[in-house]
């Protein structure tokens, strides 16, 4: 009589507090987006990569949309938190203020590369909701840039467009740092950005 097949149980997932499990699963969502793109995110995929059963995932999130929505909210909040203290403020000397922001931004990318690779859509992570959130982040940065530039530029300058151009240079610098860090290291990019903002600001006392 043939021996009965050995049943191999799935490894037991250690119990976690609900909030800890939520953070673990959202970490997994970000990892999937970073490696495989947003279309690869599903309740099954998250359960497999986390090493848990589907009921564990369903015990925290209702469906894939809920997973993605919570991931988007968490990562956008954390991205803003990384930059909040460095955003230039009106009245501050603009060149050192922008240089400090550029430095903080480049450090933020290195500190949380998965978050920012998703933001840059280096892996296919584009949805309408995702793109809307990225556009909101960019608009917020343009607003802060414009308000910081306003006191330093001539009255007839197109402040908003200049701020947009400055953000475009910063955004491209971040992309280069993420994709080609050896060719475009932090210090090289920071020097270039500082040169750009210095050229934009008229030579006035206190800049």
Q: What is the tens place of the pLDDT at every residue in 28-73?
A: 999 999 998 888 999 999 999 999 999 999 999 999 999 999 998 9
Confidence of residue 207 (pLDDT cuts 50, 70, 90): very low
| 141: Cβ contacts below 8 Å, ≥ 6 apart | 83, 87, 167, 170
Question: What pLDDT was estimated at residue 10?
Answer: 47
Give the list of residues 6+ apart from residue 35 with CB closer than 8 angstroms, or none: 123
Tokens of 140: 């917020």
Rg, the chain, Cα only: 22
Whether the CB-CB separation of 93 and 206 falls below 8 Å is answered with yes
Per-residue pLDDT tens digits for 126-159: 677 788 888 888 999 999 999 999 988 988 999 9
pLDDT band at 183 (very low <50, low <70, confident <90, very high): very high
């Amino acid at each position: 009589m043939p021996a009965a097949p050995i049943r191999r149980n799935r490894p037991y997932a250690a119990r976690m507090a609900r909030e800890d499990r939520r953070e673990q699963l959202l970490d997994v969502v970000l990892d999937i987006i970073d490696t495989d793109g947003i279309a690869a995110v599903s309740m099954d995929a998250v359960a497999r990569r986390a090493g848990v059963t589907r009921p564990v995932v369903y015990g925290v999130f209702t469906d894939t949309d809920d997973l993605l929505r919570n991931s988007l909210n968490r990562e956008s909040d954390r991205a803003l938190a990384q930059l909040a203290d460095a955003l230039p403020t009106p009245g501050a000397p603009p060149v050192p203020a922008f240089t400090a922001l550029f430095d903080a931004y480049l450090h933020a990318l290195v500190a949380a590369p998965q978050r920012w690779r998703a933001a840059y859509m280096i892996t296919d992570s584009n949805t309408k909701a995702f793109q809307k959130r990225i556009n909101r982040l960019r608009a917020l940065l343009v607003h802060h840039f414009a308000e910081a530039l306003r006191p330093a530029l001539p009255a007839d300058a197109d402040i908003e467009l200049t701020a947009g151009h400055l953000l475009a240079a910063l955004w491209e610098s971040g992309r280069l740092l993420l994709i080609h860090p050896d060719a475009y290291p932090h210090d090289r990019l920071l020097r270039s950005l500082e040169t750009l903002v210095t050229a934009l600001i008229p030579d006035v006392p206190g800049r």
